[in-house]
């Protein structure tokens, strides 16, 4: 099977020196715009119909990894929304319900009437069995975990080029006891006589989960469905995404003006680069230096965008305003609130000076969009409020442009690299909107900021030198409000205590403290006590989340 080279997977080497990034960015910025190079191709889409499975989003990701565009939509969404994507096929997700129960979620009739291919996974298989005239029965025992799928004698494109028997991952209670008319068995396991079935119209049901890593041939099965059954060619790539987005943004904006808040993070950087590619100088970026950034962060961001990507940037040093508001404040949530509010004020002040502005570009990503569809559980307690720069100004009446709205983070990174955004920015570890203010325990002052910046710079440098930066979710220094006694030369000292925090994580919901090598910790500690004045002790934080959080405040 053909696989596209310019995939949405990013495989780059370890961090390069900054000068190298800037070179790459320069070269890329000088290239002919991709939007003009890539011929318009029709986007192939396959829609995942969500019946409430925890894996629905994962199915979408796997489909996109096969270079076919995919969105996950709830089973009861209006048909027009589904039809607007011009799907080539559907995948029905798993789900917690039982089709045997009254009121169980089912697929809209329009899907069957479209005569497009369908792949039903687990509950999705039971849904199509039930709706197409077969019979599903409450399972007497649950099948959970590994199983071996044996292909039946009937050949089907869904298992093309795959071994006759293969491990799969099961998680179901109900079972198909009678297939709908016109279906044949395509595979069975020890506990499921009908573990895979299909008809000649490209409707397939599989009882196992191809989207999880425990089904090693799962992606091949999805590819077979997409390429051999839906007839997709796999033309969705960063280049085609950029071309399509550029055309859409140009149409949406016309001759209007757009503003975008740059934070130095990957989402706002890629948003700005993409919008700039589409409309050039009609975009103005606003970079607010709140004085709570890390060493060289403001200069590097400005350099990248102004000099290398040639964007219009308003660069505001609002350090005084922020520090003034934070004066005397020690409570973490208050720090967050003040920094968030002040950001919006500064942003609005600057935007107002621009005269008429029509649009605000924001780096919203697909997981945020999906999360906002599913109402948050009111039972979940608030641990910390998160204020991101780029939060929507409240008083402005601007239309939104959210070009990354349907992308996952790794796809955003690849689009960014294709647009020439430097690797340093693309692979930057997450940094909180309130910045160093929540890494200084107690009151934030200029002196403490200087101290923390110097310590944090050492941590980052040493972690990068050890080639661990990209493996860690975050690594940084915290300035505690503890002072302790030390001895330097023949003198007693009474200095600050710096804590080092380094964690691994998938999504920041949970995190584990990183097992950094002792000699690396020793180097970091030595350098900090020697190079940062007033610090005489360094500790390493060995707590995981939960029960701790990643940040100290
Ligand atoms: P915690 O400390 O809650 O952090 O485990 C989880 C992730 O969120 C980041 N974080 C923030 N990001 N504004 C942000 O934009 C905030 O107020 C904020 N607080 C925490 C934190 O760095 C970690 O990646």
Q: How many CB atoms lie within 10 A of CB 334?
A: 12
Atom of ligand 1 nearest to the CA of 384: 3
508 CB near ligand 1 (under 6 Å): yes
- Residues whose CB falls within 8 Å of the CB of residue 182, separated by 6 or more in sequence, listed in order: 199, 200, 201
At residue 10, the pLDDT reads 33
Residue nearest to atom 14 of ligand 1 (CA): 432
Residue ranges of the alpha helices (H) in 383-517?
Answer: 409-419, 423-426, 446-465
**Ligand 1 pocket, 265 CB below 6 A?**
no
Q: What are the helix (H) ranges across 38-161?
A: 56-65, 79-83, 109-113, 123-131
Does the C-beta of 546 come closer than 6 Å to ligand 1? no
pLDDT per position in the chain (553 positions), as tens? 333 333 343 333 333 333 333 333 334 434 434 444 444 567 899 999 999 998 999 999 999 999 999 999 999 999 999 999 999 999 999 999 999 999 999 999 999 999 999 999 999 999 999 999 999 998 766 777 899 999 999 999 999 999 999 999 998 788 899 999 999 999 999 989 999 999 999 999 999 999 999 999 999 999 999 999 999 999 999 999 999 999 999 999 999 999 999 998 999 999 999 999 999 999 999 999 999 999 999 999 999 898 888 999 999 999 999 999 999 999 999 999 999 999 999 998 998 899 999 999 999 998 877 765 543 333 334 445 444 444 445 555 788 999 999 999 999 999 999 999 999 999 999 999 999 999 999 999 999 999 999 999 999 999 999 999 999 999 999 999 999 999 988 899 999 999 999 999 988 889 999 999 999 999 999 999 999 999 999 999 999 999 999 999 9
DSSP SS3 for 247? helix
211 catalytic residue (yes or no): yes
122 has catalytic annotation: yes
SS percent in the chain: helix, strand, coil, step 5:
35, 20, 40
pLDDT at residue 372, rounded to an integer: 59
**Helices (runs of H) and strands (runs of E) counted in the chain:** 17, 20
Three-class DSSP category at 384: coil
- The reply to whether ligand 1 has any atom less than 6 angstroms from the CB of 434 is yes
From 508, 549, 553, the mutation candidate for ligand 1 (largest count of ligand atoms within 8 A of CB) is 508
* Contact (CB, 8 A) for 535 and 529: yes
Strand, helix or coil for residue 422: coil
Backbone phi and psi for residue 166, each to the nearest 5 degrees, phi listed first: -155, 150
Whose Cα sits closest to atom 11 in ligand 1? 432
Q: Is 327 exposed, middle or buried (0-12, 13-18, 19+ CB in 10 A)?
A: exposed
Q: Which two tokens stand for residue 150?
A: 């044996």
Q: Give the residue whose CA is nearest to atom 4 of ligand 1.
A: 550
Give the global pTM.
0.81
Q: Are the beta carbons of 389 and 292 closer than 8 angstroms?
A: no
CA separation for the pair 352, 346 (Å, rounded)? 10
pLDDT at 308: 80
Q: Which of 211, 423, 424, 553 is catalytic?
A: 211
268 touches ligand 1 (CB under 6 Å) = no
Give the per-residue pLDDT at 40: 55
- Which residue in 308, 277, 310 sits closest to 32, CA to CA? 277
260 catalytic per annotation: no
Centre of ligand 1 to C-alpha 20, Å, is 30
- Candidate list 122, 232, 260, 285, residue with the active-site label: 122
Reduced to 3 states, what is the DSSP secondary structure of residue 357?
A: coil
Please name the helix (run of DSSP H) or strand (run of DSSP E) that holds residue 366, with its range, or none. Answer: helix 366-373
Cβ(258)–Cβ(186) below 8 Å = no
| DSSP designation for 440 | B
Cα–Cα distance between 156 and 201 in angstroms, integer? 12
CA of 443 from ligand 1 middle (Å) equals 19
d(CA 31, CA 539) in angstroms, rounded, equals 47
What token pair was written down for 366? 């697909």
CB 90 within 8 A of CB 64: no
Burial class (CB in 10 A: 0-12, 13-18, 19+), 16: middle
For ligand 1, say whether the CB of 541 is within 6 Å of any of its atoms. Answer: no
Per-residue pLDDT, 234 = 96
* Spatial distance between the Cα atoms of 173 and 351, rounded to a whole number of angstroms: 57
Q: Does the C-beta of 337 come closer than 6 Å to ligand 1?
A: no
Q: What is the pLDDT of residue 27?
A: 41
Distance 432 CA to ligand 1 centre (A): 5
CB of 551 within 6 A of ligand 1: the answer is: yes
> In sequence order, which residues have a C-beta less than 8 Å from that of residue 547 and are 6 or more positions away?
none
Distance of CA 108 to the CA centre of its chain: 30
The pair of structure tokens assigned to 302 is: 């400005």
What is the distance of C-alpha 218 from the center of its chain?
A: 22
Q: What is the distance of C-alpha 153 from the center of its chain?
A: 42
Q: How far is the CA of 384 from the centre of ligand 1 (A)?
A: 8
Alpha carbon distance 258, 246 (integer Å): 14
Distance 321 CA to ligand 1 centre (A): 23
Answer whether 472 contacts ligand 1 (Cβ < 6 A).
Answer: no
Q: How far is CA 539 from the centre of its chain?
A: 31
> Quick one: which H or E segment has residue 444?
none
Please state, as a whole number, how many other Cβ atoms lie within 10 Å of the Cβ of residue 360. Answer: 21
Written as six digits, the tokens of 145 are 């975990």
- The Cα-based distances of 262 to 267, 301, 416, 472 in angstroms read 9, 8, 14, 24
Residue 361's nearest CA partner among 430, 285, 305 is 285
Q: Is the CB of 428 under 6 A from ligand 1?
A: no
């Amino acid at each position: 099977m053909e696989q596209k080279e310019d995939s949405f997977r990013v495989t780059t080497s370890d961090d390069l020196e900054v000068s190298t990034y800037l070179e790459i960015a320069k070269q890329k910025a000088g290239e002919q715009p991709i939007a003009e190079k890539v011929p318009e191709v029709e986007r192939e889409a396959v829609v995942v119909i969500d019946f409430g499975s925890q894996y629905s989003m994962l199915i979408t990701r796997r489909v996109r990894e096969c270079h076919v565009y995919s969105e996950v939509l709830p089973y009861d969404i209006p048909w027009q929304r589904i039809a607007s994507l011009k799907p080539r096929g559907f995948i029905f997700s798993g789900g917690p319900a039982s089709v045997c129960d009254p009121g169980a979620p089912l697929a809209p009739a329009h899907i069957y009437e479209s005569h497009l291919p369908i792949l039903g996974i687990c509950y999705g298989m039971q849904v199509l069995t039930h709706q197409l005239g077969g019979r599903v029965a409450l399972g007497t025992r649950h099948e959970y975990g590994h199983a071996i799928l044996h292909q039946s004698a009937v050949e089907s494109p869904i298992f093309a080029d795959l071994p006759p028997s293969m491990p799969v991952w099961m998680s179901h209670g109900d079972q198909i006891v009678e297939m709908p008319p016109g279906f044949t068995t395509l595979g069975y396991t020890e506990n499921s006589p009908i573990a895979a079935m299909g008809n000649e119209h490209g409707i397939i049901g599989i009882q196992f989960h191809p989207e999880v890593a425990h089904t090693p041939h799962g992606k091949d099965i999805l590819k077979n469905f997409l390429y051999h059954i839906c007839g997709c060619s796999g033309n969705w790539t960063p280049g085609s995404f950029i071309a399509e987005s550029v055309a859409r943004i140009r149409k949406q904006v016309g001759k209007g003006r757009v503003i975008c808040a740059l934070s130095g993070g990957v989402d706002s950087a890629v948003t700005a680069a993409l919008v700039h590619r589409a409309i050039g100088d009609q975009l103005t970026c606003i970079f607010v230096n709140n004085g709570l950034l890390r060493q060289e962060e403001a200069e590097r961001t400005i350099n990248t965008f102004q000099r290398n990507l040639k964007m219009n940037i308003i660069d505001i040093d609002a350090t005084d305003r922020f520090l003034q508001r934070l004066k005397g404040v020690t409570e973490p949530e208050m720090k967050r609130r003040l920094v968030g509010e002040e950001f919006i004020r500064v942003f609005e002040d600057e935007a107002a000076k621009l005269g008429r502005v029509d649009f605000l570009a924001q780096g919203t990503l697909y997981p945020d969009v999906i999360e906002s569809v599913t109402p948050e559980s009111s039972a979940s307690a608030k641990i910390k409020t998160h204020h991101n720069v780029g939060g929507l100004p409240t008083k402005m009446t601007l239309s939104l442009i959210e070009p990354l709205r349907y992308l996952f983070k790794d796809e955003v990174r690849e689009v960014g690299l294709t647009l020439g955004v430097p690797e340093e920015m693309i692979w930057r570890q997450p940094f909180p909107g309130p910045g160093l203010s929540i890494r200084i325990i107690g009151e934030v002052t200029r002196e403490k900021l200087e101290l923390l910046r110097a310590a944090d710079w050492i941590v980052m440098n040493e972690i990068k030198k050890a080639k661990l930066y990209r493996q860690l979710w975050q690594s940084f220094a915290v300035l505690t409000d503890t002072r302790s006694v030390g001895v330097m030369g023949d003198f007693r000292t009474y200095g600050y205590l710096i804590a080092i925090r380094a964690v691994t994580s998938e999504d920041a919901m949970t995190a584990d403290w990183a097992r950094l090598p002792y000699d690396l910790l020793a180097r970091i500690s030595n350098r900090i006590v020697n190079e940062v004045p007033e610090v005489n002790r360094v500790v390493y934080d060995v707590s995981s989340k939960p029960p701790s959080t990643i940040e100290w405040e």
